[in-house]
Structure 1
């Protein structure tokens, strides 16, 4: 039985974030393959973290810049090590290379952090995103270096797959497209959905600690919701998400129909009972869990091009509307909310998107075959990745010694 070590930046919280759901999907995929899994993290436990022991996964707390991790590696002797986000690969990748040189190293990107951070910075300046802005960023260099040092990187968005190929000339052999893995929407599922006339109000959801979500909430509060409320004075916007800070709770104004609800045990239940989902995301990356959940609940949505990125084929229509301007966004939201025929057609569009783009059966075998092939041919695979080999050599000369210096300093 092959042993997989997953090193996470946080413990999986599938009820708090799309990243948590994505990690649990990946874990389930590995369990179904018959792998033994150990999950390690430097993070503190949280009340919303998934009970990993209930699905047979050992949980280990680890420390950054501490050679105790080397001992853990020796004892576990994993065949595969998965780094959850590039920062984890930076911190622990060199230790894995030293202690377990024959282990397959996989980077789970979640989304391209450099793309999200670059877009966030540009939004503040009002500048339109161009690829050159991405190329100039320090975080981009770090993230791309991490991709090269890894034997394989899991990419959740086909937009990001193409970006890595075209802007950075990364070889396809180092990348593997693995989007959300979702069950089909069947007629039985649809029969359980509330009808148009049984649903009320608007909804948005997202972890408050995630910068794109917080920005979209402020955007709704200041620019979009007042316009919607003017046309639909009885409508309400219900805002859900984990870890709402005090500044978010201060936005709660029942008189204006702007309701901060906070964390919810069952996100799909509240989305299913809303008529329209609003997601005016102005920066971000990856695939948006709130929009996938809306489709899975039969709830049409209004979002931006960044919100829909990586979720749509060229010949498909969105599960509602894609609008950038706040006035166009508002008009679309009202139209979708009040037009039953349009709402039903948008719901059908969402069903098609889920059933054609995110089916587990479509991607599972390809993932398994890729892993098996890499394990069987790892030396040959690595010999083709000269840039990765070069960066690995540099890493072992710099990041390693910096980490060792910090460790020695901490002993004093």
Structure 2
């Protein structure tokens, strides 16, 4: 995903609570996004539903130049109306479900992003259907209602950000739009420990214990995994539990379990990561990627986890960490890490290298800004809802339609056929004395109703459709194709001749480029000179 640079703009970030980056992973992710925008020169405002009095996290934002507001009542609409925001990011689907319509109504041009953090419907289904403790659950109407609301919030957005390619693919498959969800990885900067194997002691479990999967993991760990470890191991290597929300009745789950030490919330987890010989992430359900695992591997502390724990991460069992799928295999993996120095050293090095490759701050920042730039190259869904061309009222639409048709009539000869990249707008194919159809095409010759999955699919669609068409026309609302489908854009540029490009449309002749010695058919008389930007977008060259 590469796009041409976009000038810094104005962003609105909306969340349930202040970005408590030192308490839970989702807030840390939002805080990083705010930092990335500020570093790129953006102006940022932050709004949350609730906040403790004199929140130190809001105070930190204000010190960094971020305007803050608590509550989504009247002042929120005033902020949106006067803010001229290019972008509004809603942390979690339910915040978008409650308040995104205000942004759509007051500021139609603002692009709306839902930051999923993790897919709640996926996590909820796994929790209910997991069949733990001998009880097989079933999904009910309450779950169904939340599922519908979550998917609707995603479908209404201009983009959805996910923590992994897997979750982006799930969203795109369900909503039928392969360009909607974009993967932006979590990142961290945990330094590597300098403490050697022989000087380390204990097993560490870090988590936000207001999060149900982590509470279940404590119970699983204390009741089923730890009892399988030999007593000599447990006496030498206690289990340290560190994290937010470690209060009654959660602590009751481990009362009376030997070798467990409750720490609770700490401002920095690094001292514990650097001293522990191993970390454990015994999740039985959940979604998203696990920051606790990223931090542990970055620290050079080998980890044991479950298939759920490594979901969405580019890691391999036995190469970067150890994975077990039941209590016995997890206990055996813990014992191996605590006693096998050669294995421990290999995993410590390989795990850190892997995290630096996929979860570095610089990499996540670049991916986030690329996603923002791609999003801004498309119209908002509010603008698309008016029409594929319109940006403000019927009169303006007629002006743009006239310019579009004039360009097509000048570039494409009479009685020839053309494909128009669109979302089914009938006025875009209403071109006198020319046969125009929507692209992509359905089997019946009408609009297919979806975008191609990727560049390969886009090229395949074109190769099939060009048998009955001589030109491909891209109105401005479809120019994002040239950024998102990079391979498709390269195919057009290398295989077909661009005969027109201005503010009204871009047109390609669907025939192979002329060979040396063969005279190419020139663009229509009066066609403006054009150039392509690095991202593939076109713009008019001043005369």
TM over 0.5: yes
Aligned-partner Cα distance in 2 for 1:323–1:316? 9
Aligned-partner Cα distance in 2 for 1:285–1:345? 28
**Equivalent in the alignment of 1:278:** 280
Matched, 1:142 2:152: no
Q: Secondary structure at the match of 1:351?
A: helix
Aligned-partner Cα distance in 1 for 2:313–2:365? 18
Report deviation, 1:69: 2.5
Aligned-partner Cα distance in 2 for 1:367–1:16? 22
Aligned-partner Cα distance in 2 for 1:204–1:375? 40
Report deviation, 1:274: 0.4
Q: Secondary structure at the match of 1:40?
A: strand
Report deviation, 1:302: 0.6
Which of 58, 65, 69 is residue 67 of structure 2 equivalent to?
A: 58
Change (3 A) 1:325 1:57: same
Aligned-partner Cα distance in 1 for 2:359–2:119? 19
**Equivalent in the alignment of 1:399:** none
Change (3 A) 1:25 1:212: same
Report deviation, 1:309: 0.6
Aligned-partner Cα distance in 2 for 1:323–1:170? 35
Q: Secondary structure at the match of 1:232?
A: helix
Which of 32, 38, 45 is residue 52 of structure 2 equivalent to?
A: 45
Aligned-partner Cα distance in 2 for 1:346–1:48? 38
The alignment of Structure 1 onto Structure 2 pairs a total of residues equal to 377
**Equivalent in the alignment of 2:249:** 247
TM superposition score normalised by structure 1: 0.83
Report deviation, 1:163: 2.3
After TM superposition, the structure 1 = structure 2 runs for residues 238-387 of structure 1, keeping only pairs within 5 Å, are 238-251=240-253, 253=255, 256-313=258-315, 317-378=318-379, 382=384, 383=388
Q: Which runs of 5+ in 1 are unaligned?
A: 389-412
Aligned-partner Cα distance in 1 for 2:176–2:232? 49
Which of 116, 126, 132 is residue 119 of structure 1 equivalent to?
A: 126
Q: Secondary structure at the match of 2:328?
A: helix
TM superposition score normalised by structure 2: 0.64
1:93-130 per-residue CA deviation (whole Å, 9 max, x = no partner) reads 11111001110111111011111111111124668999
Aligned-partner Cα distance in 2 for 1:214–1:274? 21
Higher relative contact order, chain-length normalized (CA < 8 Å, sep 6+): 1
Aligned-partner Cα distance in 1 for 2:266–2:248? 17
| Higher mean C-alpha deviation, range 14-23 or range 370-379 | 370-379
Confirm or deny: 8 A CA contact 1:108 1:155 kept in the other structure.
yes
Q: Secondary structure at the match of 2:354?
A: helix
**Equivalent in the alignment of 1:394:** none
Aligned-partner Cα distance in 1 for 2:257–2:368? 50
Aligned-partner Cα distance in 1 for 2:289–2:136? 21
Aligned-partner Cα distance in 1 for 2:69–2:336? 51
**Equivalent in the alignment of 1:171:** 177
Confirm or deny: 8 A CA contact 2:97 2:150 kept in the other structure.
no
Aligned-partner Cα distance in 1 for 2:45–2:205? 34
Q: Which runs of 5+ in 2 are unaligned?
A: 1-7, 389-421, 425-448, 451-543
Aligned-partner Cα distance in 2 for 1:229–1:251? 21
**Equivalent in the alignment of 1:34:** 41
| Higher mean C-alpha deviation, range 234-243 or range 246-255 | 246-255
Q: Secondary structure at the match of 1:272?
A: helix
Confirm or deny: 8 A CA contact 1:17 1:289 kept in the other structure.
no
Q: Secondary structure at the match of 2:249?
A: helix
Change (3 A) 1:320 1:379: closer
Q: Which has the higher helix share?
A: 1
**Equivalent in the alignment of 1:401:** none
Q: Secondary structure at the match of 2:285?
A: coil
Aligned-partner Cα distance in 1 for 2:211–2:242? 13
Confirm or deny: 8 A CA contact 1:296 1:350 kept in the other structure.
yes
